[in-house]
């Protein structure tokens, strides 16, 4: 049985190494090295961490631009951290739960149709494969093979007819990953001001230190994405840093312009 060692296959593709690609596809099952679940919650971590970092620093930058006290920075930053973190995680939970419920309902319907109207389901698959360029004979042959196993048949209908990929992600775990990432990464922009309470010398450089911590956080989150995107870590990090800097600069300018109202 031909298996794919995904890490090696991806590396071979990037390098254009045909021989390495062959080795990755022809390795024995005992040597298979799938990247199982390594990126399952990366999306929630990056999404939550990015939003936490940017929104918290935006609050810090806005207050700093208005030349308000460090106490107000702490109040605004920490209040934003908790409120927005809960809001985001609840939103992530509800959206993930809705997707899971929709997927389950559609799967139940497809399974019912396979049981009660198999001819119609086969005909739909045949038409799909014919539209993609298969001959009528080949399409019928493929569908008959798929139809021998009900689970494979329903899986195929979900993907080919509805475009729904099976997912085993937990809405609760997604929401938890989002909240933890939001709070942990989002705390860094205000960490300098928290340190300033205990170390007087830090208070004087609170905003520049906050800028540095935020920049490092954004770059790190961008680099983290490469676990699932396969891009060069430094390019992804710089891209995230640039996007976050635009939002932070906008908040600082607004605070600077409206500082006189405070």
**pLDDT greater at residue 214 or residue 251:** 214
Structure tokens at 141: 């042959």
Structure tokens at 14: 């990037």
CB 181 within 8 A of CB 224: no
- Look at residue 28 and tell me whether its pLDDT is greater than 60: no
Alpha-carbon distance of 5 to 3, in angstroms, equals: 7
**pLDDT greater at residue 29 or residue 217:** 217
Residue 59, SS3? helix
Alpha-carbon distance of 153 to 162, in angstroms, equals: 13
Q: Which residues touch 147 (CB under 8 Å, ≥6 apart)?
A: 118, 121, 122, 153
CB 44 within 8 A of CB 178: yes
pLDDT tens-digit readout, 46-75? 888 888 888 888 888 877 777 778 788 888
Alpha-carbon distance of 178 to 174, in angstroms, equals: 6
* Mean pLDDT of all residues in 126-146: 93
Q: How many CB atoms lie within 10 A of CB 19?
A: 8
CA dihedral 129, 134, 137, 141 (to 10 degrees): -50
pLDDT tens-digit readout, 179-206? 999 999 999 989 988 888 888 788 788 8
Structure tokens at 235: 């390019």
* Mean pLDDT of all residues in 112-136: 92
CB 189 within 8 A of CB 76: no
- Whole-angstrom CA distances from 27 to 7, 8, 168, 253 are 13, 10, 27, 57
For residue 127, what pLDDT is reported?
Answer: 93
Average pLDDT, the chain: 82
């Amino acid at each position: 049985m031909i298996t794919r060692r995904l890490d090696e296959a991806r590396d071979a593709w990037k390098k254009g190494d045909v021989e390495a690609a062959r080795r990755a596809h022809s390795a024995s099952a005992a040597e298979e090295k799938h990247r199982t679940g390594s990126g399952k919650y990366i999306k929630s971590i990056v999404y939550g961490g990015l939003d936490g970092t940017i929104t918290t620093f935006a609050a810090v930058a806005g207050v700093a631009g208005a030349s308000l006290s460090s106490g107000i920075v702490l109040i605004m930053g920490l209040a934003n951290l908790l409120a927005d973190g809960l809001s985001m995680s609840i939103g992530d939970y509800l959206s993930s739960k809705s997707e899971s419920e929709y997927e389950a309902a559609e799967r139940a319907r497809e399974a019912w149709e396979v049981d009660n109207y198999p001819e119609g389901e086969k005909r739909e698959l045949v038409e799909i494969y014919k539209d993609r360029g298969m001959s009528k004979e080949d399409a019928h042959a493929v569908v008959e093979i798929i139809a021998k196993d009900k689970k494979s048949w329903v899986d195929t209908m979900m993907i080919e007819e509805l475009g729904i990929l099976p997912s085993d992600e937990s809405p609760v775990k997604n929401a938890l990953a989002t909240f933890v990432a939001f709070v942990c990464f989002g705390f860094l922009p205000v960490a300098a001001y928290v340190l300033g309470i205990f170390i007087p010398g830090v208070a004087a450089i609170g905003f520049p230190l906050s800028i540095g911590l935020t920049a490092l956080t954004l770059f790190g989150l961008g680099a983290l994405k490469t676990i699932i995107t396969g891009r060069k870590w430094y390019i992804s990090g710089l891209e995230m840093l640039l996007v976050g800097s635009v939002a932070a600069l906008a908040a600082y300018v607004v605070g600077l312009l409206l500082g006189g109202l405070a």
